[in-house]
């Protein structure tokens, strides 16, 4: 899974810690998602998309990097 979390977070001026508090996870969870090492639950993905006021599909992509 690819993610635009880091890009969108920086556009919004949020730190990893601030985003983590908004969606009720640890900063490490945000870090691992940004690095592509953790796939969020649908519920968490939805909460993150809501913070950025974007559809889930604009934040997360389910295609592998090898497919690109």
Cα torsion for 17, 7, 40, 16, to the nearest 10°?
-10
pLDDT in tens, 10-62: 999 999 999 999 999 999 999 999 999 999 999 999 999 999 999 999 999 97
* 27-34 vs 16-23: helix crossing angle, rounded to 10: 110
pLDDT-derived band at 66, boundaries 50, 70, 90: low
| pLDDT score of 50 | 98
Helix, coil or strand: residue 12: coil
| pLDDT score of 64 | 57
| pLDDT score of 62 | 79
- The number of beta carbons lying within 10 Å of the beta carbon of residue 36 is 12
- The pTM score is 0.87
CA distance 68 to 65: 5
């Amino acid at each position: 899974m690819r993610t635009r979390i880091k890009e969108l977070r920086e556009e919004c001026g949020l730190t990893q810690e601030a985003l983590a508090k908004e969606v009720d996870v640890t900063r490490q969870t945000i870090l691992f998602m940004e690095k592509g090492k953790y796939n969020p639950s649908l519920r968490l993905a939805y909460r993150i998309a809501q913070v950025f006021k974007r559809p889930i599909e604009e934040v997360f992509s389910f295609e592998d990097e090898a497919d690109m």
